[in-house]
A and B are shown apart, each in its own frame.
Chain A
Amino acid sequence: MRKVLMAAVAGAMAAGAPAMAQETLKVGFVATFSGPNAALGEHLLQGFQVGVDHAGGKLGGLPTEILKEDDQLKPDVGVQVVRKLIDRDRVNVVAGVVFSNVMMAIHKPLTESKTPMISANAGPSPIAGKLCSPYFFAASWQNDQSHEAVGQHLQTKGVKRVYLMAPNYQAGRDGLAGFKRYFKGEVLGEVYTAVNQPDYSAELAQVRAAKPEAVYVFYPGGMGVNFVKQYAQAGLNKDFPLYSAFTVDASTLPAQGEAAVGTFTAAFWTADLDNAASKRFVADYRKKYGSTPSTFAAQAYDAARLLDAAIRGAGGKVSDREALAAAIKTAKFESVRGPFRFNTNNFPIHNFYLVETVKAADGSLEQVNRGVVFKDHADSYVGDCAMK
């Protein structure tokens, strides 16, 4: 199952390197690479690759070996591959993971073996709160933060009556709870649909009858493609502006097409963000993969940059896991999102932006930044975390 994507040529040892025996960095990269959600795993890996490329193929200056593992979106398979990475392959660090349920499942074996984990996507609330660990780091965000940002935006905008929809699972319920944490107006309806429900016509008819000022939804992946297309086809987008989180992004936008134009979301980063790190990342990603990077890719890129900086901080001694974890916590790197620092629970404190999907002059679809919603936003669970 090992797939060595990159084994940097050891012969190219830099002339000025110290004479002591150099360690090799082994990164276990776990994500969903098969099944309907495989695209997200690919986005993560591609973003991570660009990060490794920017370190000259050597994260922290060490020969880098990436072991790619597929969790198949099954929590027990996730545990199996992580145990294999820890016990058999003796990786120094694990990165990746798209889905929260997989992350929850592998949290225990990682924590118990003191293996540093850098999440490139999933940021479940228990790990930000009660279950926080000195070996877990989120290069992404806490799941609720984007929801909170949209709630805050609608609150500031003076919207009074909203209609909420999400899939009926934990992330869906957490998401709408996060939204309501900052939105104080009236909620006309709070609808939970079945997970992976393909058709929303029944619920959309109820939306029209309720006549809200705005609609807020959370439908990741394929569900989002279905929902946004059907929302536009029902003509609802003309009467009720659609706000969402993790529903319209670079991974779903190609399939949603013009149905997504005019919808708003919130994100920690957009491809048009004006800072040097982001510009370099976007340009090189486009050069390598021929498309605009998604937020998934950006998170994974940051994960690689974070790891690069941390290894340098630890003086290249990656076999000392405690030292490596400590070095990740204090690592300074240029995040594509601009200001980035870890909170006490190892989740980032960062800005959130309002994002609008528009049709550009050349007919292509773009997600443009419409300004800051939250500055230096911390997540809501840090109080439950015992770490200082």
Chain B
Amino acid sequence: MDPILLLTQALNGLQLGVMLFLMAAGLTLVFGIMGLINLAHGSLYMAGAYAMAAVFAWSGSFLAGLAAAVAAAALLGVAIEMAALRLLYRRDHLDQVLATFGLILFFNELARIIWGPAAIFVTVPAALSHTVEILPGAPYPAYRLVVIAAGVAVAAGLYLLIARTRLGMLIRAGASNRTMVSALGVDIGRLYTAVFALGAGLAALAGAMAGPILSVEPGMGEPVLILTLVVIVVGGIGSIRGAFAAALLIGFVDTIGRAFLPALLRDLLAPSAANAVGPALASMLIYLTMAVVLAIRPQGLFAARTG
């Protein structure tokens, strides 16, 4: 197999993986610590993309756009948490599903009212709009390299935050024993709000960085949400490490599958059959992966110690 192509595809897989990790980290933390299924996590991703688009267009600065996206979504996250989700922590998961499903409808329509139904324009910052020769004859978009770097940096930062800081200690403690943490006198309400804001900020960062690559439109959060849910379930719900491993796994499986599976099938099957089966199988591949993982390890790859 062509090594240049393989390297390019590996980078593509890595890039998809780190984006998924940014989304999955927040979702899995919120679930692991508060026990909350937040289907509206995709709406925070969308909020990040729209905030980025608006501020980038207004100020002309990409970094200002990123900062605004993270800040706006974190604020939005805090608002949602305090206004609605806080009341749902002790409730059945099903009430959470109903409420956050309602939030999805609400925010999609709100985005449509504010920005219109059509996709809006976000471009790559001029300094990153070129391609870089990673190997001779293998140009790769500079912007995507930066996305990979940013994603890895955030993952490392998150690791330090959780392993080394007081907040991280509380998060770890909260994930393994909620009652004990509050019994020790920690203001659990504030911890929850902080974690939710952190998750929202990460989702918004993912959305903002995806803005120049993907189309920014109402409902853009749902396909990503589904992929993210796949990631956290494969990784083991509540586990950051699991989310990281699963995000990379899903990123690679999806990319490699799409790139090489149809060609592989053409070698194995009759052309017409391969043409019919290949694309369908490639679209199913991540779901197949998930089904296989869950069938073998129902708790996911890295199950958090307690539910």
Q: How far is the CB of B43 from chain A (nearest CB, A)?
A: 14
Is B279 touching A209 in the complex (CB atoms < 8 A)?
A: no
A252 on the B face (CB < 8 A): yes
B262 on the A face (CB < 8 A): yes
Is B131 touching A235 in the complex (CB atoms < 8 A)?
A: yes
Is B16 touching A199 in the complex (CB atoms < 8 A)?
A: yes
A214-246 interface bits toward B, Cβ cutoff 8 Å, 1 = contact, 0 = none: 000000001001100110011100000000000
A376 on the B face (CB < 8 A): no
Is B217 touching A254 in the complex (CB atoms < 8 A)?
A: no
Q: Which residues of B contact A190 (CB under 8 A)?
A: 275
Q: Which residues of B contact A196 (CB under 8 A)?
A: 223
Q: How far is the CB of A15 from chain B (nearest CB, A)?
A: 43
Q: Which residues of B contact A42 (CB under 8 A)?
A: 117
CA distance A194 to B279 in the complex (A): 7
A35 on the B face (CB < 8 A): yes
Point out the residue from A39, A201, A234 that lies within 8 Å of B118, measured CB to CB.
Answer: A39
Which one of A192, A199, A203, A259 has the highest number of Cβ atoms from chain B below 10 Å of its Cβ?
Answer: A199
A19 on the B face (CB < 8 A): no
Contacts A193-B258, A222-B217, A226-B214; A201 near B12 (Cβ below 8 A): yes
Is A206 touching B259 in the complex (CB atoms < 8 A)?
A: yes
Q: Which residues of B contact A229 (CB under 8 A)?
A: 212-215
B:99-151 near A, CB below 8 Å: 112, 116-121, 123-124, 129-131, 139-141, 143-144
CA distance A197 to B4 in the complex (A): 24
CA distance A234 to B8 in the complex (A): 11
A:186-200 near B, CB below 8 Å: 190-199
Closest residue of B by beta carbon distance from A41: B117
State the main secondary structure of chain A at its contact with B: helix
A6 on the B face (CB < 8 A): no
A100 on the B face (CB < 8 A): no
Is A226 touching B215 in the complex (CB atoms < 8 A)?
A: yes
Contacts A194-B279, A235-B141; A36 near B129 (Cβ below 8 A): no
A:253-291 near B, CB below 8 Å: 254-259
Is A36 touching B217 in the complex (CB atoms < 8 A)?
A: yes
Closest residue of A by beta carbon distance from B131: A235
B38 on the A face (CB < 8 A): no
B292 on the A face (CB < 8 A): no
Q: Which residues of A contact B131 (CB under 8 A)?
A: 233-235
Q: Which residues of A contact B193 (CB under 8 A)?
A: none
Q: How far is the CB of B21 from chain A (nearest CB, A)?
A: 15
Q: How far is the CB of A74 from chain B (nearest CB, A)?
A: 14
Is B213 touching A230 in the complex (CB atoms < 8 A)?
A: yes
CA distance A168 to B262 in the complex (A): 12
CA distance A380 to B63 in the complex (A): 52
Q: Which residues of A contact B217 (CB under 8 A)?
A: 36, 222, 225, 255
Point out the residue from A192, A195, A235, A258 that lies within 8 Å of B139, measured CB to CB.
Answer: A235
A369-380 interface bits toward B, Cβ cutoff 8 Å, 1 = contact, 0 = none: 000000000000
A9 on the B face (CB < 8 A): no
Is A193 touching B279 in the complex (CB atoms < 8 A)?
A: yes
CA distance A36 to B283 in the complex (A): 21
Is B219 touching A258 in the complex (CB atoms < 8 A)?
A: no
A55 on the B face (CB < 8 A): no
Q: Which residues of A contact B262 (CB under 8 A)?
A: 191-192
Is A201 touching B15 in the complex (CB atoms < 8 A)?
A: yes
CA distance A192 to B119 in the complex (A): 23
B:215-262 near A, CB below 8 Å: 215-220, 223-224, 254-256, 258-259, 262
A205 on the B face (CB < 8 A): yes
B1-30 interface bits toward A, Cβ cutoff 8 Å, 1 = contact, 0 = none: 010110011001101100000000000000
Is B5 touching A206 in the complex (CB atoms < 8 A)?
A: yes
CA distance A36 to B130 in the complex (A): 30
Is A225 touching B119 in the complex (CB atoms < 8 A)?
A: yes
A104 on the B face (CB < 8 A): no
CA distance A201 to B219 in the complex (A): 22
CA distance A194 to B258 in the complex (A): 9
A323 on the B face (CB < 8 A): no
CA distance A233 to B130 in the complex (A): 7
CA distance A191 to B217 in the complex (A): 26
Is A202 touching B9 in the complex (CB atoms < 8 A)?
A: yes
Closest residue of B by beta carbon distance from A206: B259
Contacts A39-B116, A193-B279, A201-B144; A233 near B8 (Cβ below 8 A): no
Closest residue of A by beta carbon distance from B219: A36
A112-125 interface bits toward B, Cβ cutoff 8 Å, 1 = contact, 0 = none: 00000000000000
Q: How far is the CB of B19 from chain A (nearest CB, A)?
A: 9
A251 on the B face (CB < 8 A): yes
Is A254 touching B283 in the complex (CB atoms < 8 A)?
A: no
B280 on the A face (CB < 8 A): yes
Q: How far is the CB of A41 from chain B (nearest CB, A)?
A: 8
B282 on the A face (CB < 8 A): yes
CA distance A241 to B145 in the complex (A): 24
Is B2 touching A203 in the complex (CB atoms < 8 A)?
A: no
A38 on the B face (CB < 8 A): yes
Contacts A202-B258, A205-B9; A36 near B121 (Cβ below 8 A): no
Contacts A199-B16, A222-B119, A254-B121; A205 near B215 (Cβ below 8 A): no
Q: Which residues of B contact A208 (CB under 8 A)?
A: 8, 139
CA distance A194 to B286 in the complex (A): 12
CA distance A74 to B49 in the complex (A): 27
Closest residue of A by beta carbon distance from B130: A235
28 interchain pairs, CB-CB under 8 A: A36-B219, A39-B116, A39-B118, A190-B275, A191-B279, A192-B262, A192-B275, A193-B279, A194-B279, A195-B283, A198-B214, A201-B255, A202-B258, A202-B259, A205-B9, A209-B2, A222-B119, A222-B220, A225-B119, A226-B214, A226-B215, A229-B212, A233-B129, A233-B141, A234-B131, A235-B141, A251-B118, A255-B215
Q: Which residues of B contact A (CB under 8 A)?
A: 2, 4-5, 8-9, 12-13, 15-16, 112, 116-121, 123-124, 129-131, 139-141, 143-144, 212-220, 223-224, 254-256, 258-259, 262, 275, 278-280, 282-283
4 more CB-based (< 8 A) A-B contacts, given A209-B4, A252-B119: A195-B283, A202-B254, A225-B214, A234-B131
Q: 5 closest Cβ contacts across the A-B interface?
A: A225-B215, A38-B117, A194-B283, A39-B118, A255-B119
